[in-house]
Structure 1
C-alpha cells in the first residue's frame, strides 16, 4: 500500500471473525480518514466491540487484513500496535483506583520511556513528569482532582482521567469504547466536549450508543448489523437509510 496523505489511517479489508463456528463479523471493510471522528453504531450484538478488538489486535481476525498508517498490522501484537500510535479506552474504567489522578497519568507517561517504568527511581525523576501530567489533567478538565484517589472521583471525572491516561501515550488514533456509558446528562455533555477537543489534532474512532452524541460529533458513521456493514455516511445519510431504520426497530441503541 502507498503512504499518500489521503490514505486512511486505519483500514480493515474483508475482515471476518468466528468464535467456535459462529461468525461474529463477516467480510467487514472500513476506512477511517485521518483527522476525522468516526463512529461505529448498531443494535445489540451487531459486532461493534468485536471490530474494536480486531482493530487493536486484542483479537486476531479469522480472515482479512488490517492496516494502520499504511502498514499491515494483521500479524502484529496489541502492544506493537499501541506503540505505533493506536490506543484505546474501554467500557469499564481502567485506571488504578488506589492511586491519585496525577499518579495515574505519570504511570502512563512512563510507558514509552527507554528504561521502562520507573517506580524504583528517585522522587526527582518521577517529579520531572509532574508538569506534563498536570497539563494532561488540565486538558481533560480535572486538574482540581490531581491529588484525589481515582476511586474517589465522580464517575464522569474518572472517565476523563482514563482519557487523560490514553492521551499520555500520544496516540495518533484514539479508540473510545462507549465513552459516555452510564453517565448522567451533565457528564455526557462534558465528555462530548472533551472528545471534540482531543480530536483537533488526532483521529478518533468510537463505539457509542448515545445517538445524539454520534450526531453532534461524528464526521462519518458506520452502521453494523449482525456482524456486517449495513450503511455508512454522515448522520443525515444513515439516519434516513431504510435498512438502518429497520435494524433499529425494537432494538435499544447500545451494544
Structure 2
C-alpha cells in the first residue's frame, strides 16, 4: 500500500454529490476525497449507489447537485471525453476488448488515441514502429507479452481483464476507476489481477468498486462505504470493518 501519500493531497474531491432519478435519490449528499497515489475502494450492498457515484465522477451522468474537483479544478460541468482527456479513465464491469483483433492490436488502438490520430489500420508496421516498443512494454507489464499475436477472443476471462488494464494504461491516465475488476474471476485470476492493480497503483491513483472484501482488505489504503446512496463509513479496512453500521448493512448482502 501507499502510505507515503500526503494526508491532504487529494486528487479527487466530491462535495454534496447528489443524483435524483424521477424523484428517487440514487446518491444523496456524498462527500468523497481520494488521496493521490492511493488505492481507494468504494463498497456497499447492492443498490448502494456505487456505480452511480462512478458515473458521476466520470461524467457519464450529470449530478443533480454538488461539485467534483480533479487536481483542484472544478470538472462538474465537463463532458466524459473532456474528463478522460484530463486523465481520469474508467474500466467497466464487463470486459471491453475487441475480440477479433490480436492482443497487441487492442493495445495499439488505445495507444493511438492520445496521439490524436485516427486508427491507422492500413499503414505499414514500419510506419507505426514507434508504437511497437510501447505495446510490448504494456503487455509485459500485465503479463501478456507472450499472447501478443493471439486473438483477444481466445484469452481467458482473467487475461481479458489484464488486457483491459493494459489498454487503459495505454491512455496514460493519472487516475483509474475500476468497476468490479474481480467480477467473474477464479481464485488464481483474482490473485493475478490484485497484484497487477497493486503494481499499477505505484504511479497512479486507483478508485475501485469491488464486492470481494478480501481483495478490498488486501489492496485498499482507504475505503468509503455507501448504503442507500449515502456515505455510511470511511477509513482503512481495520476501522470500517468494525463499524456496527457496516456489519449490519452487509449481513446477507456480500459474497466474500
Quickly name the TM-score band, shorter chain normalised.
over 0.9
- Please give the TM-score of this superposition, normalised by the length of structure 1: 0.95
Contact 1:91 1:177 in 2 (8 A): yes
- Please give the TM-score of this superposition, normalised by the length of structure 2: 0.95
Runs of 5+ unmatched residues, structure 1: none
Runs of 5+ unmatched residues, structure 2: 1-5
Alpha-carbon distance between aligned partners in 2 of 1:248 and 1:5, rounded to the nearest angstrom? 29
| Superposition deviation, residue 142 in structure 1 | 1.0
Quote the residue 1:212 is aligned against: 214
1:57 partnered with 2:62: no
1:135 partnered with 2:137: yes
Per-residue CA distance 1:61-110 (angstroms, 9 max, x = gap): 11100111111000001111111000111100111111011000000000
Contact 1:87 1:174 in 2 (8 A): yes
* Aligned partner of residue 14 in structure 1, secondary structure: strand
Quote the residue 2:3 is aligned against: none
RMSD: 1.5
Alpha-carbon distance between aligned partners in 2 of 1:5 and 1:233, rounded to the nearest angstrom? 13
| Superposition deviation, residue 124 in structure 1 | 2.2
Per-residue CA distance 1:33-58 (angstroms, 9 max, x = gap): 00100000001110101100000011
Q: After the TM superposition, which residues 151-170 of structure 1 pair with which residues of structure 2 at under 5 Å, given as runs?
A: 151-170=153-172
Of 60, 70, 73, the residue aligned with 1:71 is 73
Contact 1:44 1:253 in 2 (8 A): no
| Superposition deviation, residue 114 in structure 1 | 3.3
1:82 partnered with 2:84: yes
1:228 partnered with 2:238: no
* Aligned partner of residue 159 in structure 2, secondary structure: helix
| Superposition deviation, residue 5 in structure 1 | 9.5
| Superposition deviation, residue 120 in structure 1 | 4.0
Range that drifts further, 51-60 or 123-132: 123-132
Q: Figure out how many residues of one structure are paired with residues of the other and give that number.
A: 251
1:126 partnered with 2:128: yes
